[in-house]
């Protein structure tokens, strides 16, 4: 049996989740339509590509550092 103290908490949680969905779902749908489902704004594409290139450059540098030296016998 559910405690009498737990009922108001469950109601508050339900109302909070319902309100969040009601408030934010239209905004998220609009943002999804604006970004064509990618969740990246067109203005941010250049910045995202630059960050990806920088990350890939860092990964290739780390890969070169982790390779064993061929001079060791």
d(C-alpha 15, C-alpha 19), whole Å: 6
Nearest 5°: the CA angle 29, 41, 30 is 15
* pTM exceeds cut of 0.95: no
Mean pLDDT throughout 19-37?
89
pLDDT at 53 over 80: yes
Which has the closest alpha carbon to 39: 29, 47, 49, 50?
Answer: 29
pLDDT at 62 over 70: no
- Of 20-24, 29-33, 60-64, give the range with the top mean pLDDT: 20-24
pLDDT at 69 over 60: no
């Amino acid at each position: 049996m559910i405690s009498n103290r737990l009922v108001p908490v469950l109601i508050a949680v339900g109302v909070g989740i319902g309100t969040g969905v009601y408030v934010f779902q239209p905004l998220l749908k609009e943002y999804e339509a604006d970004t064509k489902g990618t969740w990246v704004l067109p203005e941010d594409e250049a910045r995202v590509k630059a960050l990806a290139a920088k990350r890939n450059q860092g990964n290739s540098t780390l890969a070169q550092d982790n390779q064993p030296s061929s001079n060791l016998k």
